């Protein structure tokens, strides 16, 4: 299976000479891809999820066990089927090396995006992954892999548009192309992310209910080095993501 690579999106904010970049993940092979100039350099750092322990699931992706006993999987051939009950409330608890972040997932407005995230979480996909990007120019921190090239091997369809971004949002990362999200996400830590409002096509699928200060602390670790606006000055690991249902 060809490993999926991340691509970048460059956009203006009303001043012609000022551009900033938000990067996501995208399935592409290079054939028919005319926007190769927006590809970015990989960040140096930890091994990718592809090299970490975890099985590959071929064919349809079945719903994982929800009691924490599911064998870890890091590569998938197809997006998961619907595994959540959108009528219930789902909470994601991120256990990171910088503290705990709790997020209420939005099953009402973005059930398919939440389903994708919950399914990957229950497969242990995010365990021992990293917050690899800290971008003070946008007030965002990005994770969902060991580096900016990681994704699960498939993409999902965008679920809505016209989003507005504010502190505490949990948002799917994606490339400049539609329907290009996969496993990566970013947290909005402050008001500067509102520059993305003019696009509004990064799907917000959750809101931080506890630990916004943790996301801001992670942003403050920005080293000013690397692409994507910078990286933490020390490794920020997501030890695990636990999903609870009510």
Q: Is 34 within a domain?
A: no
**Domain interval for residue 234:** 8-29+39-245
Q: Is 112 within a domain?
A: yes
Q: How confident is the model at residue 63 (pLDDT cuts 50, 70, 90)?
A: very high
Q: Please give the C-alpha separations between residue 16 and each of 20, 21, 39, 206, 227, in angstroms, as whole numbers.
A: 11, 14, 21, 32, 21
In this prediction, residue 52 carries a pLDDT of: 61
Q: Is 2 within a domain?
A: no
* 3-state secondary structure (DSSP) of residue 40: coil
Long-range contacts of 53-59 (CB under 8 A, 24+ apart): 54/124, 54/125, 56/1
CA distance 41 to 46: 15
Q: Is 3 within a domain?
A: no
Q: Please give the C-alpha separations between residue 137 and each of 93, 195, 209, 224, in angstroms, as whole numbers.
A: 26, 10, 24, 11
Q: Is 110 within a domain?
A: yes
Tokens of 110: 């973005």
What's 224's DSSP letter?
S
Q: Is 237 within a domain?
A: yes
CA distance 112 to 118: 10
pLDDT digits (tens, 9 = 90+) for 225-244: 877 899 999 999 999 999 99
Total tally of structural domains belonging to the chain: 1
For all residues of the chain together, what is the average pLDDT? 82
Q: How confident is the model at residue 13 (pLDDT cuts 50, 70, 90)?
A: very low
In this prediction, residue 149 carries a pLDDT of: 74
- Domain CATH number, residue 153: 2.40.100.10
In this prediction, residue 74 carries a pLDDT of: 93
* 3-state secondary structure (DSSP) of residue 210: strand
Q: Is 1 within a domain?
A: no
Q: Using the predicted structure, report yes or no on whether residue 113 has a pLDDT greater than 50.
A: yes
Tokens of 215: 């996301």
Q: Is 189 within a domain?
A: yes
In this prediction, residue 97 carries a pLDDT of: 97
Of 25-39, 44-58, 131-145, which range is least confident?
25-39
Q: Using the predicted structure, report yes or no on whether residue 196 has a pLDDT greater than 50.
A: yes
Q: Given the structure tokens 């219930």, which residue do they identify? A: 88
For the whole prediction, is pTM greater than 0.85? no
């Amino acid at each position: 299976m060809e490993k999926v690579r991340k691509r970048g999106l460059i956009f203006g904010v009303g001043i012609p000479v000022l551009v900033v970049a938000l990067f996501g993940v995208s399935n592409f092979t290079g054939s028919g891809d005319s926007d190769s100039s927006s590809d970015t350099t990989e960040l140096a750092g930890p091994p990718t999820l592809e090299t970490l322990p975890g099985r590959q699931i071929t064919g349809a992706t079945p719903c994982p066990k929800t009691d924490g006993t599911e064998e870890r999987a890091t590569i998938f051939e197809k997006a998961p089927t619907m595994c959540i009950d959108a009528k219930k409330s789902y909470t994601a608890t991120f256990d990171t090396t910088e503290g705990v972040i709790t997020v209420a997932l939005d099953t009402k407005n973005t059930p398919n995006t939440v389903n994708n995230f919950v399914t990957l979480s229950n497969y242990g996909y995010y365990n021992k992954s990293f917050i690899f990007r800290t971008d003070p120019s946008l007030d965002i921190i990005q994770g969902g892999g060991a580096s900016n090239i990681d994704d699960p091997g498939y993409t999902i369809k965008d679920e809505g548009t016209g989003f507005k971004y504010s502190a505490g949002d949990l948002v799917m990362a994606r490339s400049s192309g539609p329907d290009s999200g996969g496993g990566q996400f970013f947290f909005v830590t402050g008001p500067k992310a509102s520059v993305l409002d003019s696009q509004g096509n990064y799907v917000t699928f959750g809101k931080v209910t506890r630990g916004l200060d943790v996301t801001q602390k992670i942003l403050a670790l920005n080293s000013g080095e690397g692409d994507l606006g910078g990286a933490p000055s020390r490794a920020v690991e997501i030890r695990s993501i636990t999903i609870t249902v009510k």
